[in-house]
Chain A
Amino acid sequence: MDELSTNVNVASGDPPAAAPAPDADDVLMQRIARRDAHALEILYDRYSGAVYSLCHRILRDGPSAEDVLVDVFWELWDKCDRYDPGRGSAITYLTLIARSRALDYRRSKQGPAAARRAGASEVAAAESEGALERARDRPFEQAVLAERRQQVLRAVNALTPEQRRAVELAYFDGFSHSEIAERLDKPLGTVKTWIRQGLIHLRRSLRNA
Chain B
Amino acid sequence: MTCDERQDLILLYAADALDAGEREAVAAHVAAGCARCAGALAEARAVMAAMALTAEPLAAPPGARDRLTSRLERSVTTTAATTSPPLAIADYARPGLQRPRKAWALGRVATALAAACVAALLSGLAVWFALHERARLPMAAEVQYVALQGGDTQPLARGRIFWDTVRHQWHVYAFDMKPPPAGRTYQLWFVTSESSRIPAGTFSVDAGGKGSLKVPLPQDIAPIVAAAVTDEPSGGSAQPTGSIHLLGKARW
Contacts and interface: CB of A to CB of B under 8 A. Distances in A.
Nearest to A84: B42
Given A1-B43, A127-B59, A199-B47, A35 B87 contact: yes
B115 interface: no
B61 A99 contact: no
Contact of A37 (B8, B45, B52, B126): B126
Nearest to B126: A37
Nearest to B141: A22
B127 interface: yes
Interface band, chain A: 35 or more
* The 7 nearest A-B residue pairs measured at CB: A131-B59, A38-B90, A57-B55, A48-B60, A95-B49, A52-B60, A3-B46
A145 interface: yes
Interface in A26-83: 34-42, 44-45, 48-54, 56-57, 62, 66, 69-70, 73-74, 77-78
Contact of A195 (B17, B45, B72, B75): B17
Given A95-B49, A199-B15, A206-B47, A54 B139 contact: no
Contacts of A24: none
B134 A41 contact: yes
A56 B45 contact: no
A149 B53 contact: yes
Given A36-B90, A146-B57, A156-B54, 18 more contacts: A37-B93, A38-B91, A40-B131, A52-B64, A54-B52, A56-B56, A57-B56, A88-B45, A92-B49, A95-B49, A127-B59, A127-B62, A145-B57, A148-B50, A149-B57, A202-B47, A203-B43, A203-B44
A86 B42 contact: yes
B58 interface: yes
Nearest to A76: B68
Interface of A: 1, 3-4, 23, 34-42, 44-45, 48-54, 56-57, 62, 66, 69-70, 73-74, 77-78, 86-89, 91-92, 95-96, 98-99, 123, 126-131, 134, 137, 145-146, 148-149, 152-153, 155-156, 167-168, 170-172, 174, 176-177, 192, 195-196, 199-200, 202-203, 206
A152 B53 contact: yes
A87 B48 CA distance: 13
B34 interface: no
Contacts of B56: 53, 56-57
28 contacts: A1-B47, A4-B49, A23-B139, A35-B89, A37-B87, A37-B131, A38-B89, A49-B57, A50-B52, A66-B60, A69-B61, A70-B71, A73-B68, A88-B42, A88-B49, A91-B49, A95-B49, A99-B52, A134-B59, A146-B57, A152-B51, A152-B54, A170-B15, A192-B12, A196-B8, A199-B12, A199-B14, A203-B44
B138 to A, nearest CB: 10
B5 interface: no
B220 interface: no
Contacts of A145: 53, 57
Interface band, chain B: 35 or more
B103 interface: no
Interface of B: 8, 11-12, 14-19, 38, 41-65, 67-68, 71-72, 75-76, 87-91, 93, 126-127, 130-131, 134-135, 139-140
B126 to A, nearest CB: 7
Contacts of A38: 89-91, 130, 134, 140
Contacts of A34: 88
Binding site of A, secondary structure by majority: helix, strand, loop or mixed?
helix
A201 B122 CA distance: 52
Contacts of B42: 86-88, 92
A196 B12 contact: yes
Contacts of A176: 16-17, 19
Given A53-B58, A86-B38, A202-B47, A37 B72 contact: yes
A39 B130 CA distance: 9
